[in-house]
Amino acid sequence: MKKVFLTRKIFPEAMERLSRAAEVEVWPESFPPPLEVLLEKARLADGLMTMLSDPITSEVIQVGSQNHLKVISQMAVGYDNIALPAATSAGIPVGNTPGVLTETTADLAWALLMAAARRVVEGNNEVHQGIWRAWGPDVLCGVDIYGATLGLIGFGRIGQAMAARAKGFNMRVLYTQRHRDLAAEEKYQAVFVPLQELLMQSDFVSLHAYLSDETRGLMGATQFKLMKPGAILINTARGAMIDQAALAQSLLRGKLAAAALDVYIPEPIPQYSPLLKMPQVIITPHIGSASRKTRLLMAQMTVENMEAGLAGKRLPYCANPEVYGNLK
Ligand code: DGY
Protein backbone atom coordinates (compact mmCIF):
# COMPACT_ATOMS: atom_id res chain seq x y z
CA MET A 1 0.00 0.00 0.00
CA LYS A 2 1.15 3.56 -0.73
CA LYS A 3 2.41 5.63 2.22
CA VAL A 4 1.16 9.10 3.12
CA PHE A 5 2.53 11.43 5.77
CA LEU A 6 -0.17 13.79 7.02
CA THR A 7 1.11 16.80 8.94
CA ARG A 8 -1.94 17.44 11.13
CA LYS A 9 -5.06 15.57 12.29
CA ILE A 10 -8.05 16.08 9.97
CA PHE A 11 -11.78 15.43 10.40
CA PRO A 12 -12.59 11.70 10.81
CA GLU A 13 -14.75 11.68 7.63
CA ALA A 14 -11.80 12.81 5.51
CA MET A 15 -9.35 10.61 7.42
CA GLU A 16 -11.45 7.53 6.77
CA ARG A 17 -11.43 8.17 3.04
CA LEU A 18 -7.69 8.84 3.01
CA SER A 19 -7.03 5.62 4.90
CA ARG A 20 -8.75 3.68 2.12
CA ALA A 21 -6.21 5.03 -0.37
CA ALA A 22 -3.02 4.73 1.67
CA GLU A 23 -1.27 3.75 4.84
CA VAL A 24 -1.36 7.06 6.70
CA GLU A 25 1.03 8.32 9.34
CA VAL A 26 -0.27 11.40 11.14
CA TRP A 27 1.94 13.98 12.86
CA PRO A 28 0.33 13.96 16.31
CA GLU A 29 1.07 17.55 17.36
CA SER A 30 -0.92 20.75 16.83
CA PHE A 31 2.19 22.58 15.62
CA PRO A 32 3.96 21.90 12.30
CA PRO A 33 6.52 19.10 12.04
CA PRO A 34 10.07 20.48 12.03
CA LEU A 35 12.15 20.38 8.87
CA GLU A 36 14.14 17.29 9.99
CA VAL A 37 10.89 15.34 10.34
CA LEU A 38 9.65 16.51 6.95
CA LEU A 39 12.94 15.48 5.36
CA GLU A 40 12.71 12.03 6.88
CA LYS A 41 9.08 11.58 5.89
CA ALA A 42 9.71 12.86 2.35
CA ARG A 43 12.28 10.07 2.02
CA LEU A 44 9.73 7.41 2.97
CA ALA A 45 6.38 8.63 1.67
CA ASP A 46 4.58 8.44 -1.67
CA GLY A 47 2.44 11.40 -0.68
CA LEU A 48 2.77 14.37 1.67
CA MET A 49 -0.45 15.93 2.89
CA THR A 50 0.51 19.36 4.18
CA MET A 51 -0.77 22.53 5.84
CA LEU A 52 0.14 26.14 5.06
CA SER A 53 2.53 26.38 8.00
CA ASP A 54 4.72 23.42 6.97
CA PRO A 55 8.08 24.34 5.44
CA ILE A 56 8.06 22.30 2.23
CA THR A 57 11.45 23.52 1.07
CA SER A 58 13.32 22.57 -2.12
CA GLU A 59 15.43 20.27 0.06
CA VAL A 60 12.32 18.36 1.20
CA ILE A 61 11.19 18.09 -2.41
CA GLN A 62 14.62 16.96 -3.57
CA VAL A 63 14.76 14.21 -0.95
CA GLY A 64 11.26 13.11 -1.95
CA SER A 65 11.99 13.09 -5.65
CA GLN A 66 15.17 11.05 -5.13
CA ASN A 67 12.96 8.46 -3.47
CA HIS A 68 9.33 7.82 -4.41
CA LEU A 69 7.38 10.95 -3.52
CA LYS A 70 4.62 11.31 -6.13
CA VAL A 71 2.37 14.07 -4.83
CA ILE A 72 2.08 16.93 -2.34
CA SER A 73 -1.48 17.78 -1.43
CA GLN A 74 -1.93 20.90 0.65
CA MET A 75 -5.04 21.73 2.67
CA ALA A 76 -5.08 25.42 1.78
CA VAL A 77 -5.64 27.63 -1.18
CA GLY A 78 -2.28 29.35 -0.63
CA TYR A 79 0.95 27.43 -1.18
CA ASP A 80 3.66 30.03 -0.49
CA ASN A 81 5.19 27.59 2.05
CA ILE A 82 5.96 25.13 -0.76
CA ALA A 83 8.94 25.50 -3.11
CA LEU A 84 6.65 25.20 -6.11
CA PRO A 85 9.28 25.61 -8.87
CA ALA A 86 11.32 22.81 -7.25
CA ALA A 87 8.25 20.56 -7.20
CA THR A 88 7.47 21.37 -10.83
CA SER A 89 10.97 20.64 -12.04
CA ALA A 90 11.00 17.41 -10.01
CA GLY A 91 7.75 16.42 -11.76
CA ILE A 92 5.78 16.42 -8.49
CA PRO A 93 2.25 17.81 -8.72
CA VAL A 94 1.11 20.06 -5.86
CA GLY A 95 -2.57 20.17 -4.97
CA ASN A 96 -4.45 22.98 -3.24
CA THR A 97 -8.06 23.88 -2.41
CA PRO A 98 -9.12 26.88 -4.52
CA GLY A 99 -12.60 28.39 -4.44
CA VAL A 100 -14.00 26.55 -1.45
CA LEU A 101 -13.04 29.07 1.24
CA THR A 102 -13.99 32.29 -0.55
CA GLU A 103 -17.17 33.23 1.33
CA THR A 104 -15.93 31.93 4.69
CA THR A 105 -12.77 34.04 4.46
CA ALA A 106 -14.70 37.09 3.29
CA ASP A 107 -17.05 36.61 6.26
CA LEU A 108 -14.10 36.80 8.64
CA ALA A 109 -12.57 39.80 6.86
CA TRP A 110 -15.94 41.50 7.10
CA ALA A 111 -16.27 40.60 10.78
CA LEU A 112 -12.81 42.09 11.42
CA LEU A 113 -13.68 45.23 9.48
CA MET A 114 -16.85 45.75 11.52
CA ALA A 115 -15.23 44.85 14.83
CA ALA A 116 -12.31 47.24 14.23
CA ALA A 117 -14.57 50.07 13.03
CA ARG A 118 -16.91 49.80 16.00
CA ARG A 119 -14.27 48.84 18.58
CA VAL A 120 -16.13 45.66 19.49
CA VAL A 121 -13.15 43.85 21.01
CA GLU A 122 -12.06 46.87 23.05
CA GLY A 123 -15.60 47.24 24.36
CA ASN A 124 -15.85 43.55 25.16
CA ASN A 125 -12.56 43.66 27.06
CA GLU A 126 -13.53 46.74 29.02
CA VAL A 127 -16.77 45.12 30.13
CA HIS A 128 -15.08 41.82 31.03
CA GLN A 129 -12.36 43.60 33.01
CA GLY A 130 -14.84 45.80 34.88
CA ILE A 131 -13.31 48.97 33.38
CA TRP A 132 -16.53 50.22 31.79
CA ARG A 133 -18.55 52.33 34.23
CA ALA A 134 -21.40 54.01 32.35
CA TRP A 135 -22.71 55.11 29.01
CA GLY A 136 -20.89 58.27 27.95
CA PRO A 137 -21.09 60.55 24.90
CA ASP A 138 -17.49 59.83 23.96
CA VAL A 139 -17.14 56.24 25.12
CA LEU A 140 -15.61 53.96 22.50
CA CYS A 141 -16.65 56.02 19.51
CA GLY A 142 -15.63 54.29 16.32
CA VAL A 143 -16.22 55.04 12.65
CA ASP A 144 -19.16 54.41 10.35
CA ILE A 145 -19.04 51.63 7.82
CA TYR A 146 -22.21 52.52 5.96
CA GLY A 147 -21.38 54.80 3.03
CA ALA A 148 -17.59 54.65 3.61
CA THR A 149 -14.95 53.81 1.00
CA LEU A 150 -13.50 50.31 0.91
CA GLY A 151 -10.17 49.74 -0.84
CA LEU A 152 -9.47 46.17 -1.89
CA ILE A 153 -5.92 45.13 -2.67
CA GLY A 154 -6.49 42.07 -4.83
CA PHE A 155 -9.79 41.57 -6.61
CA GLY A 156 -9.93 37.83 -7.09
CA ARG A 157 -12.56 35.58 -5.54
CA ILE A 158 -12.26 36.85 -1.95
CA GLY A 159 -11.81 40.50 -2.94
CA GLN A 160 -14.99 40.27 -5.00
CA ALA A 161 -16.84 38.56 -2.14
CA MET A 162 -15.89 41.58 -0.01
CA ALA A 163 -17.24 43.92 -2.71
CA ALA A 164 -20.53 41.99 -2.65
CA ARG A 165 -20.78 42.54 1.11
CA ALA A 166 -19.88 46.21 0.72
CA LYS A 167 -22.88 46.70 -1.59
CA GLY A 168 -25.23 46.07 1.33
CA PHE A 169 -23.48 48.84 3.24
CA ASN A 170 -23.74 51.32 0.37
CA MET A 171 -19.97 51.58 0.23
CA ARG A 172 -17.84 52.97 -2.56
CA VAL A 173 -15.50 50.18 -3.64
CA LEU A 174 -12.02 50.79 -5.04
CA TYR A 175 -9.69 48.00 -6.05
CA THR A 176 -6.20 47.52 -7.28
CA GLN A 177 -4.42 44.54 -8.77
CA ARG A 178 -2.10 43.81 -11.67
CA HIS A 179 -4.87 43.56 -14.29
CA ARG A 180 -8.22 45.30 -14.54
CA ASP A 181 -11.27 43.05 -14.42
CA LEU A 182 -13.96 44.87 -16.37
CA ALA A 183 -16.68 42.26 -15.80
CA ALA A 184 -16.17 42.31 -12.03
CA GLU A 185 -16.00 46.11 -12.03
CA GLU A 186 -19.40 46.25 -13.61
CA LYS A 187 -20.87 43.53 -11.41
CA TYR A 188 -19.78 45.22 -8.16
CA GLN A 189 -19.60 48.83 -9.30
CA ALA A 190 -15.98 48.79 -8.27
CA VAL A 191 -13.44 51.33 -9.51
CA PHE A 192 -9.93 50.32 -10.55
CA VAL A 193 -7.25 52.69 -9.20
CA PRO A 194 -3.49 52.50 -8.68
CA LEU A 195 -2.41 51.48 -5.18
CA GLN A 196 -1.41 55.03 -4.22
CA GLU A 197 -4.83 56.38 -5.10
CA LEU A 198 -6.57 53.55 -3.26
CA LEU A 199 -4.56 54.25 -0.10
CA MET A 200 -5.29 57.97 -0.23
CA GLN A 201 -9.04 57.54 -0.68
CA SER A 202 -10.04 54.50 1.38
CA ASP A 203 -11.48 54.48 4.88
CA PHE A 204 -10.87 50.73 5.01
CA VAL A 205 -8.07 48.91 3.21
CA SER A 206 -8.38 45.15 3.03
CA LEU A 207 -5.75 42.78 1.59
CA HIS A 208 -6.84 39.91 -0.64
CA ALA A 209 -3.85 39.26 -2.89
CA TYR A 210 -1.66 36.18 -3.20
CA LEU A 211 1.78 36.39 -1.66
CA SER A 212 4.33 36.84 -4.44
CA ASP A 213 7.54 38.78 -5.05
CA GLU A 214 5.30 41.67 -6.06
CA THR A 215 3.13 41.67 -2.93
CA ARG A 216 5.75 40.77 -0.29
CA GLY A 217 6.26 43.89 1.86
CA LEU A 218 3.66 45.75 -0.20
CA MET A 219 2.47 47.78 2.80
CA GLY A 220 5.37 49.63 4.40
CA ALA A 221 6.07 53.05 5.94
CA THR A 222 5.56 54.86 2.60
CA GLN A 223 2.19 53.24 2.04
CA PHE A 224 1.00 53.88 5.60
CA LYS A 225 1.91 57.56 5.18
CA LEU A 226 -0.30 57.71 2.11
CA MET A 227 -3.32 56.26 3.92
CA LYS A 228 -6.15 58.50 5.07
CA PRO A 229 -5.79 59.64 8.70
CA GLY A 230 -8.03 57.40 10.79
CA ALA A 231 -8.16 54.63 8.20
CA ILE A 232 -8.38 50.96 9.18
CA LEU A 233 -6.29 48.11 7.77
CA ILE A 234 -7.53 44.53 7.52
CA ASN A 235 -5.38 41.56 6.52
CA THR A 236 -6.73 38.07 5.98
CA ALA A 237 -4.33 37.24 3.13
CA ARG A 238 -0.70 36.70 4.15
CA GLY A 239 1.32 38.40 6.91
CA ALA A 240 4.40 38.95 4.75
CA MET A 241 2.57 41.60 2.73
CA ILE A 242 2.82 44.00 5.67
CA ASP A 243 5.87 45.54 7.34
CA GLN A 244 4.64 45.02 10.91
CA ALA A 245 7.14 47.44 12.49
CA ALA A 246 5.98 50.20 10.14
CA LEU A 247 2.35 49.33 10.90
CA ALA A 248 2.99 49.54 14.64
CA GLN A 249 4.61 52.97 14.18
CA SER A 250 1.73 54.23 12.13
CA LEU A 251 -0.77 53.07 14.79
CA LEU A 252 1.30 54.55 17.63
CA ARG A 253 1.42 57.90 15.88
CA GLY A 254 -2.36 57.74 15.50
CA LYS A 255 -2.20 57.85 11.70
CA LEU A 256 -4.24 54.68 11.40
CA ALA A 257 -7.18 54.27 13.76
CA ALA A 258 -6.99 50.50 13.95
CA ALA A 259 -5.84 47.28 12.33
CA ALA A 260 -7.30 43.80 12.28
CA LEU A 261 -4.97 40.98 11.36
CA ASP A 262 -5.74 37.31 10.88
CA VAL A 263 -2.27 36.70 9.45
CA TYR A 264 1.19 37.95 10.42
CA ILE A 265 4.85 37.00 10.45
CA PRO A 266 5.67 34.77 12.22
CA GLU A 267 2.58 32.83 13.22
CA PRO A 268 1.96 32.80 16.13
CA ILE A 269 2.93 36.43 16.59
CA PRO A 270 5.61 36.76 19.33
CA GLN A 271 4.30 37.93 22.69
CA TYR A 272 6.77 40.85 22.62
CA SER A 273 5.21 42.30 19.44
CA PRO A 274 4.12 45.90 20.08
CA LEU A 275 0.96 45.14 18.11
CA LEU A 276 -0.23 42.91 20.96
CA LYS A 277 -0.02 45.83 23.37
CA MET A 278 -2.36 48.03 21.34
CA PRO A 279 -6.07 47.85 22.17
CA GLN A 280 -6.95 49.13 18.70
CA VAL A 281 -5.33 46.08 17.08
CA ILE A 282 -7.41 42.93 16.70
CA ILE A 283 -5.41 39.78 16.13
CA THR A 284 -7.06 36.45 15.36
CA PRO A 285 -5.24 33.12 14.93
CA HIS A 286 -5.38 32.62 11.11
CA ILE A 287 -8.99 31.46 11.13
CA GLY A 288 -10.11 32.93 7.78
CA SER A 289 -11.35 29.60 6.46
CA ALA A 290 -12.30 28.18 9.84
CA SER A 291 -15.92 27.21 9.56
CA ARG A 292 -16.50 23.50 10.11
CA LYS A 293 -18.22 23.16 6.73
CA THR A 294 -15.41 24.83 4.81
CA ARG A 295 -12.61 23.06 6.64
CA LEU A 296 -14.29 19.71 5.95
CA LEU A 297 -14.64 20.57 2.26
CA MET A 298 -11.00 21.61 2.19
CA ALA A 299 -9.97 18.31 3.77
CA GLN A 300 -12.05 16.38 1.26
CA MET A 301 -10.52 18.24 -1.70
CA THR A 302 -7.07 17.56 -0.26
CA VAL A 303 -7.87 13.86 -0.03
CA GLU A 304 -9.24 13.87 -3.60
CA ASN A 305 -5.96 15.39 -4.81
CA MET A 306 -3.99 12.82 -2.82
CA GLU A 307 -5.99 9.90 -4.23
CA ALA A 308 -5.43 11.14 -7.77
CA GLY A 309 -1.72 11.78 -7.20
CA LEU A 310 -1.12 8.35 -5.70
CA ALA A 311 -2.93 6.74 -8.61
CA GLY A 312 -0.78 8.67 -11.10
CA LYS A 313 -3.80 10.65 -12.31
CA ARG A 314 -4.05 14.39 -12.91
CA LEU A 315 -4.88 16.27 -9.68
CA PRO A 316 -8.36 17.81 -9.84
CA TYR A 317 -7.06 20.98 -8.12
CA CYS A 318 -3.49 21.52 -9.10
CA ALA A 319 -1.29 24.51 -8.23
CA ASN A 320 1.38 23.64 -10.82
CA PRO A 321 -0.48 22.20 -13.83
CA GLU A 322 2.60 22.83 -15.96
CA VAL A 323 4.06 19.80 -14.18
CA TYR A 324 2.09 17.60 -16.55
CA GLY A 325 4.26 18.86 -19.40
CA ASN A 326 7.31 17.66 -17.41
CA LEU A 327 6.06 14.25 -16.36
CA LYS A 328 7.85 11.35 -17.99
C1 DGY B 1 -5.46 29.39 2.79
O2 DGY B 1 -6.08 28.36 2.51
O3 DGY B 1 -4.51 29.80 2.13
C4 DGY B 1 -5.96 30.16 3.97
O5 DGY B 1 -5.04 31.07 4.42
C6 DGY B 1 -6.39 29.19 5.06
O7 DGY B 1 -7.18 29.86 5.98
The per-residue pLDDT for 328 is 42
**211 CB near ligand 1 (under 6 Å):** no
Is the model's pLDDT at 327 over the cut of 90? no
Closest CA to 7 of 212, 290, 40: 40
* Domain parsing of the chain, residue ranges: 3-99+292-325, 102-283
**Which string of DSSP letters, residue by residue, matches 161-183?**
HHHHHHHTTT-EEEEE-SS--HH
- Measuring CA to CA, which residue among 322, 323, 324, 317 is closest to residue 299? 317
Topology annotation, domain 102-283: Rossmann fold (3.40.50)
The reply to whether the predicted model has a pTM over 0.85 is: yes
The dihedrals phi and psi of 187, each to the nearest 5 degrees, come to: -60, -40
Residue 41: what residue type? K
pLDDT of residue 325: 83
The SS3 of residue 27 is coil
Instruction: Please give the CATH superfamily to which domain 3-99+292-325 belongs.
Output: NAD(P)-binding Rossmann-like Domain (3.40.50.720)
For the Cβ of 52 lying below 6 angstroms from any atom of ligand 1, the answer is: yes
- List, for residues 139-188, the tens digit of each pLDDT value: 999 999 999 999 999 999 999 999 999 999 999 999 999 999 999 999 99
pLDDT, tens digit, for every residue of 249-269?
A: 999 999 999 999 999 999 999
Quote the CA–CA distance of 171 and 151 in Å, as a whole number: 10
Cβ(55)–Cβ(32) below 8 Å: yes
CB atoms within 10 A of CB 213: 6
Q: What is the pLDDT of residues 272-299, one digit of tens each?
A: 999 999 999 999 999 999 999 999 999 9
Q: Is 286 a catalytic residue?
A: yes
Atom in ligand 1 nearest the alpha carbon of residue 263: 5
Tell me the C-alpha distance between 115 and 299, whole Å.
29
pLDDT one-digit tens code per residue, 3-47: 999 999 999 999 999 999 999 999 999 999 999 999 999 999 999
CA of residue 217 to ligand 1 center, whole Å: 19
Closest C-alpha to ligand 1, atom 7: 289
64/76 Cα distance (integer angstroms): 21
Residue nearest to atom 2 of ligand 1 (CA): 76
What are the φ and ψ backbone dihedral angles of 275, each rounded to 5 degrees? -65, -30
Q: What is the pLDDT of residues 76-112, one digit of tens each?
A: 999 999 999 999 999 999 999 999 999 999 999 999 9
Q: Determine if ligand 1 sits within 6 Å of the CB of residue 239.
A: no
Any catalytic annotation for residue 216?
no
* Torsion from C-alpha of 216, 222, 225, 227, nearest 10 degrees: -40
Q: Which of 74, 79, 101 to mutate to test the pocket of ligand 1 (most atoms within 8 A of CB)?
A: 101
pLDDT at 287: 98
Give me the pLDDT at residue 162, please.
Answer: 99
Q: What is the pLDDT of residues 301-320, one digit of tens each?
A: 999 999 999 999 999 999 99
Cα 209 to ligand 1 centre (Å): 12
The yes-or-no answer on residue 238 being catalytic is yes
Taking alpha carbons only, the member of 305, 303, 298 closest to residue 320 is: 305
Rounded CA gap, 28 and 171, in Å? Answer: 46
Atom of ligand 1 nearest to the CA of 288: 7
- Residues comprising the chain, all counted: 328
Q: What is the DSSP string of 67-95?
A: TT--EEEESSS--TTB-HHHHHHTT--EE
Which atom of ligand 1 lies nearest, measured to the CA of 78?
A: 3
Least confident of 176-190, 227-241, 312-326: 312-326
User: Mean pLDDT for the chain?
Assistant: 97
Per CATH, 3-99+292-325 and 102-283 having the same topology is answered yes
DSSP-assigned beta bridge partners for residue 242: 219
